[in-house]
Chains A and B, each alone.
Chain A
Amino acid sequence: MVMLALIRLGEDAYGVPISREIEASTGREVVVGSVYAALERMEQKGFVSSSLGEPTAERGGRAKRYFRVTTKGLREVRKTRQALISLWRGLPELEGGRA
């Protein structure tokens, strides 16, 4: 979910818009710290890279940390998508829009 939010946001992906994007999709409040924890793990795996922006007054003199999906990360997203598509296929209980 975090990776998809990053891809959607492109250049402007930092904590606030990423969390808002996930909140908008799920309809639930997101703990920003958990988003950062997920991003940290993905950065360690090489799926995501980050860089610090300039400190701004509206953030109390703190810099934004921008995140970007790496080529390896994109490959991983595609693989996961394929795996999910094949898992969804052939489930009669989920077809037809009825519970």
Chain B
Amino acid sequence: MKSSEPPRLATWLLEHLALGNKNVGLAGDLVEEFRQGRPVAWYWRQVIGAIVVSFSNELHAQGGAIGFAIVWTCAAAVLWPHVWTCSQLQFLIGWGTRHNWPESLIYVTAIEIATMAVILWVALSLYLAIMRSFDLKRFVWGLFVGLLAVVVGSVSRIFNSALPHLHFHYSPDFLETRWDHYLIEWGPWFGALLLSMWTARPSLARRNPNKIIA
């Protein structure tokens, strides 16, 4: 005999993975239909369909943010060598490397993070200005989240190079001659920028307080 309760896992997935402000109604509709005799396979198809539709909507809604992050990351990757070798930064790096290890490493990493924070700040300001959706509280929160991601990325890189058993085995030639180099170097930065932008300007789906299923 068929249970009157729909599959719990499917309901959990619907509640946690389908974004959108009509979920309260959608989940109830699916339960109502299921209790009126729809099969389990139908319920699963509906849940998977709802998740796919919501993700595709989200991607469509955030297409501008992804495009902006790609363009900005490419620009940052091209300009970074010029920024990093400018005389003011080189003076600071020189001052940092005069200290003993590990202070020197900490100072140089801090300079790198601070430079990236400035680039992040400019990128986020520009994005919010283009989107005409500036809110100081959200801006600060977005900057904080992005910066946190940058710090995590930088610290992971240090650990990766400092601890031999954790070190990825990329040969220097491989890194210098392949696009993978840019992907490894700038991928985390791209993620940090995107995260920062999404936090500073949440999607329509997450902006609506009715999203949570009763």
Contact = CB atoms under 8 A, between A and B. Distances in A.
Contacts of A87: none
Contact of A31 (B22, B24, B45): B45
B57 A37 contact: yes
Chain B interface helix/strand/loop/mixed: helix
Interface residues of B, number: 29
Most chain A beta-carbon neighbours within 10 Å: one of B21, B28, B35, B42? B28
Interface size class of A (residues with CB under 8 A): 20 to 34
A59 B46 contact: no
A34 B31 CA distance: 17
Contacts of B35: 58
A32 B28 contact: no
Interface of A: 14-16, 19, 29, 31-34, 36-37, 39-40, 44, 50, 52, 55-56, 58-65
Interface of B: 18, 20-22, 24-33, 35, 42, 45-46, 49-54, 57, 204, 210, 213-214
B70 to A, nearest CB: 26
